[in-house]
Structure 1
């Protein structure tokens, strides 16, 4: 298990050349590692040990365990509201009186590890797409200028090459910026869709999962009903039918304990809170991107905040002369270049770049 989890650390390695945002990496890298870790832990718990243990008389226990694990178990929803120890033996466990409509079957717990794996793939997809779209452009034009360990002649040659690229490729980076912002929007869509699908997967219980757990702290101890047992019951029922010695049909009512659901419930409590945090951060990120796109006067301040060594006059000049794609490229360059080199490049670039059509008409 340790070796499997250690293999995930490569997803969290620090990248010397950054082409994305911290929130973007949290969604793509950290959330992917989180979901894969949960999937591996639940898989190990499911296949190493006893994910289900049923109590039944007259039948070999391993037969009933296998049958109930494959064919699912059930609870009686109205029994969750009854007092444990007086009216019912366990939450959700009561006599079904052969009423099939009153039963709630649980079939999803054995699929949780697979669902988490596919959720991890969905979270990694925006990063995969952006890496394909970006194509190593930032690494190519930085050329090691994020490090200062090079000779003066080499540094000047690379700086001139970078400046030459920026001048020759003005107004050719709009698609570059739009693709990245589309990948950020895809992160937001992914979180929304995943939360909706998890809610469907858990029969409409997931959306209020964390809220009910937080509300539990305000309820007196004697009145508490753990909301997690509605989604992941620890004790359930299972009916096993077989033929008797004379061929008559026999019904065996078994009580099943699901230790795996202890792991499942804690996993999804954390996932619920993390997805809510990611949702808030992504909404804020998209609003921030909207300000960049639709409020041009906001751009010089951001450019100056990226590197205080670049004077505000140069930031205003560049923001006025460049379109949104070129502005985004130099904004990201500020994260990857040595600050002193970045100041030199931006100062020279502001002098040599042609003003935009909108600037010339003023």
Structure 2
């Protein structure tokens, strides 16, 4: 009985740990500091790459990655030794007269050098490496963002907010003192991370192309063209199956060993690369996915440039999120004037806040900020700070998630909600 209770306890802890990690990674009920386009890279692409890396190592589903046949010489060969050797040193150079499928007839006839396929054993690690690269812009943005959204969202994201007037006034004062006309670099940092996402997806195409011996750059398009052909045309001489060309399932191996007379002898073996029945499909899915995210990333960069040039579009983006409240507001003119005239950094912070804060509370906050700016001009910047923070200043800013920073807005430590941390 105690044994089963122990097993249940371990299983419960394991499930809890997995749930916690998954919730954290998928950002369930978390503050949003980016957008859906950004998440395509660091969340969905990274998850896809890790899943594919695990998939290609699942021998229980696809069997041994390589199996070799040495023909008449197999009686005096240790099979495990042969397969281990051929897994490292098998080649694509199969005799042209070999009639097996996905082999000689599908290989490049102009190969002047021996091309080894040993890089397949590095596929899982290569996919993990790509996943790490795709997550780097997220790490960089986490560093630059510094917990600003978490600071603003402290106690203001739930449906019911205590002491709304006091919290709103604190955040308005904090925005005027620390954000207004000082956060253009914050917005530029995010655009740089978006641009870095685009550069990474282009770079990985080149990297994967080199990793697969220059057989990948147009892989997905060629596979699509091949399977559009009628079955009888696919079997015609000279028609190459791109999946067999890039990921052949038959390999040749010249195994050298010491013979009975003390001389070296070569044994030629034909090997089945069973793992390639999943490799070809994994990299096909990745090829189309990378094309998709690269197009999305490019479109978003163009859209971001238009956004920077048009105050009207920036206002409409907030209006789309707050349309129901904007229609009811008597201060809509002041809000529009403020949003259209504020700098890019101010607008970006406000737009991010509109995605995280309780919407009625954000509407009150934006209204108070707009009235203060247009009527009282209490958000006027200091003469020395009109240019915004430079990169060094931003990196030296303390994180807004620290305990001391939660007391910054109102300068009233006794009245702050320290228990909300």
Question: What is residue 360 of structure 1 aligned with on the other side?
Answer: none
Confirm whether residue 239 of structure 1 aligns to residue 254 of structure 2. yes
Question: What is residue 133 of structure 1 aligned with on the other side?
Answer: 144
RMSD, aligned CA: 2.8
Number of aligned positions between the proteins: 344
Measured in 2, the distance between the counterparts of 1:180 and 1:13 equals: 19
Matched-pair contact (CA < 8 Å) for 2:145–2:186: yes
- Where 2:288 maps in the other structure, the secondary structure is helix
Q: TM-score, normalised by structure 1?
A: 0.87
Question: What is residue 181 of structure 2 aligned with on the other side?
Answer: 171
Structure 2 residue ranges without an equivalent (≥5): 1-13, 235-239, 382-421
Measured in 2, the distance between the counterparts of 1:356 and 1:165 equals: 13
Q: What does 1:189-228 align with in structure 2 at a 5 Å threshold?
A: 189-224=199-234, 225-228=240-243
Matched-pair contact (CA < 8 Å) for 1:321–1:356: no
Q: 1:174 to 1:322 in 2, by over 3 A?
A: same
Q: What does 1:169-318 align with in structure 2 at a 5 Å threshold?
A: 169=178, 170-224=180-234, 225-308=240-323, 309-310=325-326, 313-318=333-338
Q: 1:100 to 1:61 in 2, by over 3 A?
A: farther
Task: Give the C-alpha shift of residue 7 in structure 1.
Answer: 8.2
Measured in 2, the distance between the counterparts of 1:322 and 1:168 equals: 15
Question: What is residue 81 of structure 2 aligned with on the other side?
Answer: 63
Task: Give the C-alpha shift of residue 147 in structure 1.
Answer: 1.0
Q: 1:122 to 1:100 in 2, by over 3 A?
A: closer
Question: What is residue 72 of structure 1 aligned with on the other side?
Answer: 90
Task: Give the C-alpha shift of residue 72 in structure 1.
Answer: 3.4
Measured in 2, the distance between the counterparts of 1:90 and 1:219 equals: 18
Say which of 8, 28, 31 aligns to 1:14: 28
Q: TM-score, normalised by structure 2?
A: 0.75
- Where 2:326 maps in the other structure, the secondary structure is coil
Q: Higher relative contact order by CA 8 Å / sep ≥ 6: 1 or 2?
A: 2
Measured in 2, the distance between the counterparts of 1:7 and 1:349 equals: 38
Task: Give the C-alpha shift of residue 202 in structure 1.
Answer: 1.4
Measured in 1, the distance between the counterparts of 2:286 and 2:19 equals: 21
Matched-pair contact (CA < 8 Å) for 1:304–1:315: no
Question: What is residue 45 of structure 1 aligned with on the other side?
Answer: 59
- Once the two structures are superposed, residues 54-76 of structure 1 have per-residue CA deviations (whole angstroms, 9 ceiling, x without a partner) of 00123121111011112233234
Matched-pair contact (CA < 8 Å) for 1:8–1:33: no
Question: What is residue 114 of structure 1 aligned with on the other side?
Answer: 125
